[in-house]
Structure 1
Amino acid sequence: MRVTLLGTGDTTGTPTVGCDCDTCAAARARGVERTRFSVHVENERVDESLLIDFSPDFRYQFLRDEVSLPDAAVITHIHFDHLDGLGNVFRVLDSLEVYAADETDPKTGKSVAETVDDDYHYLDPLTVVPTSPLETVRICGLDVTLVPVDHPPLVCYGLSVEDPVTGAKLSITGDTSYDVPEASRDVLADADLLLADGIVPASLADYHPLGGRHEDADGVARTFGTKHMTREGALALAGELNADRTRLVHLAHFYPAEEAFAEPLAVDGEVYEL
């Protein structure tokens, strides 16, 4: 299983358009970037690839990293930075199965699958496959399980991707606070590679209008506001999940420049062989 981190940034990416902060300047000077979130998983055994989330930067990411076009995809939730690249399949793919959760979101009155189907009804290549969370499905020769996480006010999902032949396992927390349900933690546990949402360091929680949440014994916030984990929260979760290796993703340009590119914060283009 070859995992390519196409997009490791948050909703604005790094460098952020129109921003001259020290972190964005450092990214430009280093020649690195964090575009909007997307992960490419290639199963070399069957010569097929799975795309997790359709970044608005889809075209640029695929040209830059020269990965194969997806044979199937998973959409974790309906925020634009994870979904709006889906229109790129027009005139690029002849067909594409898109897997998305079938649970009704109380906020929208529709499931993620229904929203994708409705919003992209004009895309003939698209076949939306409603998928039940916590039930494993075989996609591109890999066992994929969607797991509910905590990203209010919308439903959102993380996932595990496991090779049934080699046992290699990738887990992705999805956009989430630290309050990941126990049943979901069980599915995400013991991954060879964990991609964990760690949007900012905990020190910045004081600047959020809602502050921090889920403090540890030392009062360190593991959730920034209500929707995302802090760096410290993501690393705490990684330890509890017994991840062999962890990379932090969905990163904001608000990290101080001296911390923004330190381990284990990911940048675009990283490749892992599991």
Structure 2
Amino acid sequence: MRVTLLGTGDTTGTPTVGCDCATCADARARGIERSRFSVHIENERTDESILVDLSPDFRQQFLSHAVPLPDAAVVTHIHFDHLDGLGNAYRVFDDLPVYAANEVDPETGESVAETIRRKYDYLDRVSVHDVTPLASIEICGLELTLVPVEHPPLLCFGLVVVDPETGAKLSLSGDTSYDIPVDSRDRLRNPDLFLADAIVPAALCDRHPLGGSHHDADGVPRSFGTKHMTREGALALADELGADVTRLVHTAHYYPADEAFEEPLAVDGEQYRLDGTGVTRLDTATAESGTTTD
């Protein structure tokens, strides 16, 4: 299983348009992008691939990174930075099956799958398939499970991807606070690679109107407001889940410049191979240094 992080940023990305903060300036100087969230998963055994979330930056992501167009897509929730790239399917795909949860959201009165059908009914090359949360399905030779997480006020889902041939496991937290249900944590547990929402460091919670929540024993907030994990919360969750390798994603340009590009914060273009025996980093920066992550 080859995993490429096409988009590792939050809803505005880094650098943010029109922003001259030190973090955005440093990102420009380094040539680093954190575009809106999207992950490409390739089953190298079957030569098929899946796209998790359809970023508004879809076009540039696929022009910038050497990955094939997906054979299928999965949508975790209906916020624009995870869904609105679906419009790129127009005249690009002959057929694109899109998988999304069938649970009705009290806030919208429809499921994620139903929202996609309604919003993109003009895309006759897109077919939307209902998925029952916590029930595994096979897509492109891989086993996928949508797991409920906590991203109020909308329903949102994390994702577990397992290669049934090798046992390799990828877990994605989805957009979520630290308050992930027990059943979902159990499904996410023991991944080879964990991609965790970590929008800001805990020290910035005093800038949120609601402050921080889900504090640890030392009073450090594991959630920023109620919708996203802090860096500290994401790392605590990774430790609890027993993740072998963790990359922090969906990060904002609010990270101080001296922290914004430190490990384990991810940037666009990172690529990993999961083969059931460990995780190897494949992207250029690591290949040139001759290092791997196991």
TM-score band, normalised by the shorter chain?
A: over 0.9
Partner of 2:231: 231
Deviation at 1:241, TM superposition (A): 0.4
Secondary structure of the residue aligned to 1:40 is: strand
Counterparts of 2:31 and 2:222 in 1: how far apart (Å)? 30
Partner of 1:218: 218
Partner of 1:266: 266
Partner of 1:6: 6
Counterparts of 1:14 and 1:196 in 2: how far apart (Å)? 17
Partner of 1:209: 209
Counterparts of 1:251 and 1:53 in 2: how far apart (Å)? 16
Deviation at 1:59, TM superposition (A): 0.3
Secondary structure of the residue aligned to 2:61 is: helix
Partner of 2:36: 36
Partner of 2:92: 92
Partner of 1:195: 195
Q: Does 1:186 align with 2:186?
A: yes
Q: Does 1:160 align with 2:167?
A: no
Partner of 1:117: 117
Partner of 1:106: 106
Aligned length: 274
Deviation at 1:123, TM superposition (A): 0.3
Partner of 1:53: 53
TM-score under structure 1 length normalisation: 1.00
Q: Does 1:247 align with 2:247?
A: yes
1:208-238 deviation line (CA, Å, top 9, x unaligned): 1000000000000000001000000000000
Counterparts of 2:169 and 2:253 in 1: how far apart (Å)? 29
Deviation at 1:66, TM superposition (A): 2.1
Counterparts of 1:264 and 1:120 in 2: how far apart (Å)? 36
1:37-89 deviation line (CA, Å, top 9, x unaligned): 00000001000000000000000000100210010000000000000000001
Secondary structure of the residue aligned to 2:159 is: strand
Counterparts of 2:87 and 2:187 in 1: how far apart (Å)? 31
Root mean square deviation, CA, Å: 0.3
Unaligned segments of structure 2, at least 5 residues: 275-294
Letter in 1 for 2:190: D
Partner of 2:278: none
Unaligned segments of structure 1, at least 5 residues: none
Secondary structure of the residue aligned to 1:41 is: strand
Secondary structure of the residue aligned to 1:78 is: coil
Letter in 2 for 1:74: V
Counterparts of 1:32 and 1:14 in 2: how far apart (Å)? 8
Counterparts of 1:91 and 1:134 in 2: how far apart (Å)? 33
Counterparts of 1:42 and 1:256 in 2: how far apart (Å)? 34
Counterparts of 2:50 and 2:140 in 1: how far apart (Å)? 7
TM-score under structure 2 length normalisation: 0.93
Secondary structure of the residue aligned to 1:145 is: strand
State the percentage of identical aligned residues: 73
Counterparts of 1:241 and 1:180 in 2: how far apart (Å)? 12
Deviation at 1:114, TM superposition (A): 0.2
Counterparts of 1:85 and 1:207 in 2: how far apart (Å)? 30
